[in-house]
Amino acid sequence: MMKIGDELPALTLEAFQNDGIKSINLHDYRGKKWVVLLLYPADFTFICPTELEEAANLYPEFQKENAEILSVSTDTVYAHKAWWDHSPSIKKISYPMLADPARKLCKMLGTYIEEEGISTRATFIINPQGRIVSLEMHDNSIGRSVREILRKLRAARYAAEHPGNVCPVNWEPGKETLKPGLNLVGKI
């Protein structure tokens, strides 16, 4: 299982995006973008389309933060396409939907549930250097907040761009930050 600070290895997976299929190597983003991996159990489920639709709605905000969203399940790209073709919620997705039918990425990240053949619902934020700066996993019966993922991404970017500063609870851009051992730094 990977942990905070670990480097995401190079791995190429097929992806469904904008009614087409392509290959994506996770190292393609190295030195260029932040990456948000949204792992989910399976296509054609109940909670997953609500999360992925919220991610689609907020995708422009992630792009403003120089981040790419990559959703990931153990389904094939053909299952992703079938879901995209038949679900109004999923049809809104323009970010890549990675297919991990061999379970390579899920096993590498420690999200794979062997007895079910699916991934746990998990989120990984990867910095442009390819290192994990945030991860969250929970039971598949609990949906996540994509707005909170966006807030965490913004806080991670701020901390990376302002060494020595940290973001307190519920920090949002424009709010005060902290410098350990000193008083509040100020607003950005």
Q: Hey, which residues are catalytic here?
A: 48
- On whether the CB atoms of residues 44 and 11 are closer than 8 A, the answer is no
Burial class (CB in 10 A: 0-12, 13-18, 19+), 71: buried
For residue 129, how many other CB atoms are within 10 A of its CB? 11
Return d(Cα 143, Cα 139) in angstroms, integer: 9
Return d(Cα 111, Cα 101) in angstroms, integer: 14
